[in-house]
Amino acid sequence: MFKLLSKESNIFSIPVYIGFLLLIVIIFNILNFNTYEAIVAGITFLGIALGYFCFHSIALNYQTHLPLFLYSFFIFGLYPGNLDIGIAVALLTNSFILLLLTSANEDTRKRSYVLVGSIVALNFIFLPTTWPMAVFVVIHVVATSEKIGLNLFRFLLGIILIVFSYFSVMFFLDFTTWNPDYFPFGKMTLIKDYQSIIPLLPVALMLIYSVYDHFKNYNKKSPISRYKYTFLLVFSLAQLVTTILYMNNNYEYLLLLAFPASIILSRMMRFLPKYWMQEAGLWLIIISLVTFKVGTYFNLF
């Protein structure tokens, strides 16, 4: 299977993956279908579907289908069906941010910071625990921009516009009390029950090895590859901070890590010295995700 996914093949394409995604969303939501769940499922579908196009934008898949295949399996294994609307919006906004910040057009990236700020603010309104994404954007601006002050101003302007609009609408609707949920820093609850995520331990260990292998061979990689991989690692760190601090038993937070994990693992398997290691690694990931899915769906753990 690894050899098939590592080559250009006509039976695999983004529309096929999106069709598979649509099937997953429909199956897991058909039993509790209502207007609210349909809206959340639609937002989730759009966010995850845009993720497939982010692979082309970030261009770290080396013309293979392996990361797209892994991304699909991560979605299958981690998607619970009844997803919180905050997570659904976070998946959608993350995809838009990645598409904007990894655009091949430099002018588009420079002019998108106001929009990125607006998206980050909107994301915070729906899910305040995603505040590390704002830190990620600030780090990206500082590390990549020639005019740091101007681009930070653009980013903050986008945030201010959404915040001002939000408070104006809430005041007009006579919602004048402060909701303490919008201050997430005092509500950090580290996960206490690790039993349910034990099946994902092989995936976690492979991710750790992937990062280690990257820095071990750091000087052998091209400057473009190093830049893009560093961008992906900082993005992953922002999602990881949110997951560690706020997930607890809400395992749908793991969906935020599906996109970067699929790229990191696919790159690691691509550079393994033996074919049997590549094939074994791929099947180990699949088995781990399926086991986690079965365990959480039927409450086996």
Model pLDDT for residues 3-22, shown as the tens digit of each residue: 656 665 555 577 788 888 88
pTM here?
0.90
pLDDT of residue 108: 74
**In the chain, what is the greatest distance between 2 CA atoms, to the nearest angstrom?**
64
Res. 182: pLDDT tops 80? no
Please enumerate, as own/partner, the contacts of 234-237 that have beta carbons within 8 Å and a separation of 24 or more: 234/136, 234/139, 234/140, 235/98, 235/136, 235/260, 236/260, 236/261, 236/264, 237/132, 237/136
Question: Are 31 and 25 within 8 A, CB to CB?
Answer: no
Of 259, 87, 287, the closest CA to residue 201 belongs to 287
Total residues belonging to the chain:
301
* C-beta neighbour count of 211 within 10 angstroms: 14
The three-state secondary structure class of 240 is helix
State how many domains the chain has: 1
Instruction: Give pLDDT tens digits for 105-153.
Output: 777 777 889 999 999 999 999 999 999 999 999 999 998 888 889 999 9
Tell me what the pLDDT averaged over the chain comes to.
Answer: 85
DSSP 1-44: -HHHHTS--TT--HHHHHHHHHHHHHHHHSTT--HHHHHHHHHH
Residue of 63 and 42 predicted with greater confidence? 42
Residue 163 confidence class, pLDDT cut points 50, 70, 90: very high
Judge residue 256's burial from the number of C-beta atoms within 10 Å of its C-beta, 0-12 exposed, 13-18 middle, 19 or more buried.
buried
Domain that holds residue 35: 3-298
**pLDDT over threshold 60, residue 284:** yes
